[in-house]
Amino acid sequence: MSYNILISTIGRRGTLTKIFKKELNKTGGKVIVTDNSPLAPALYQADKYYLTPRIDDDRYIAKILKICLAEDIEAIIPLLEKSFSVFNQGRELFAESGIRLLLSPDRIIGLCQDKYRFYQYFKEKNISTAETYLPVELVEANGSFSFPLFIKPRQGQGSTRTFRINNLTELNFFINYLNDSIVQEYIEGEEYTIDLLSDFEGRVLSAVPRKRIEVRAGEVSKAVTVKNKELINMAVKIIEGLGVIGPSNLQVKVLPDGEIKVIEINPRFGGGVPLSYQAGVNYPQLIVRMMKGEKIEPFIGEFKEGLAMLRYDTPLFKNINELTGVNDDTSSNF
């Protein structure tokens, strides 16, 4: 039996799209992708694409459902964190049509997206993490803290609008510059991301740590897989403790003395997940097996170690007049 999967707000995730297309096509399945912009390059890597309204448009879920019914979609994988709550609102509507949402429930999404609440969760669970403050807490502390610090939006995806703070002048500036921010201790150490996939019961099936060698525009551009049992065991314990469903990634820093501090959890595919796929974790096939209801034995730690990913830019050329003339009810084959 073939399975069709829809990936929403695909943006620049061309490699991820090609991976799903390659694997699903082997059994007669298709990957359908969506975005609200015809300039999203990954649209043109899929079996088929659709343009949709923005996620804050009241028509969005109805449009996604219409696409799913037209394309016999069995599962939806949302990529944009801002869309997660919108998809969860439509979960029952999708379920009525036999469509599974590969996404954690709102309880988990809300916790992961609110970095201060997540800090409090880590502290309650005695999980080592970066000390985190609300700006008002630093003001009340009246200088009884040390620099450097790190400031970022309390909610957000990627590393945009994040800044290192070296002194009190910079702290005061960025507190006023960023609305609804958090301030963290600045951690020196090696950064790792652990890619995980959990089944519909929240059981982790795979976990692949990758050392982040170079990051550009908030996404990893150079990385290498590492078999670190401590990182793997810690990640599995945290993700299963939360009850995450589907793809996720855990970001940590390993300090010079070996201490591991958790930075954040993203309940979605990370930008570097193609490396974990190349290292041996066939995400499309695993998701299809999950959809079939198969009992999958976890194969945690089973992947190729020392595999490096070196990402580079590849241009895609399209006729701009054709792209901008497409409306949100148009679909195209490629």
Enumerate the CATH 3.30.1490.20 domain ranges in the chain, comma separated.
131-185
Contact 246, 103 (CB under 8 A): yes
Q: What percent of the chain has pLDDT over 90?
A: 84
Please indicate, yes or no, whether the overall pTM of this predicted structure exceeds 0.85. yes
d(CA 30, CA 191): 35
pLDDT given at position 220: 87
329 pLDDT higher than 60? no
> Which class for 5: exposed (0-12), middle (13-18), buried (19 or more C-beta within 10 A)?
buried
Q: Average pLDDT of 280-294?
A: 97
Statement: residue 320 has pLDDT above 50 = yes
Quick one: average pLDDT of 92-102?
A: 97
How much of the chain, in percent, has pLDDT values that exceed 70? Answer: 94
CATH 3.30.470.20 domain range(s) in the chain: 188-310
CATH number of 4-103+315-333: 3.40.50.20
**Residue 157 binned pLDDT confidence (cut-offs 50, 70, 90):** low
Give the model's confidence band at 327: pLDDT under 50 very low, under 70 low, under 90 confident, else very high: very low
For residue range 4-31, list pLDDT tens digits in order. 999 999 999 999 999 999 999 999 999 9
Question: CA–CA separation, 327 vs 334, rounded Å?
Answer: 17
Q: What is the pLDDT of residue 331?
A: 46
Residue 166 has pLDDT above 90, yes or no: yes
pLDDT band at 332 (very low <50, low <70, confident <90, very high): very low
Domain ranges in the chain with CATH number 3.40.50.20: 4-103+315-333
CATH 3.30.470.20 fits 188-310, yes or no: yes
pLDDT confidence of 158, banded at 50, 70, 90? low
63-94 pLDDT, tens digit each: 999 999 999 999 999 999 999 999 999 999 99
Mean pLDDT of the chain: 92
Confidence of residue 142 (pLDDT cuts 50, 70, 90): low
In tens, the pLDDT along 214-248 reads 988 778 899 999 999 999 999 999 999 999 999 99
Distance CA 84, CA 105 (A): 9
For the stretch 141-178, what's the b/e string if a residue is b when 16 or more beta carbons lie within 10 angstroms of its beta carbon?
Answer: eeeeeeeebbbbebbbeeeeebeebeeeebbeebbeeb
Class of the CATH-defined domain 131-185: alpha beta
Asked whether the predicted pLDDT for residue 334 surpasses 80, the reply is no
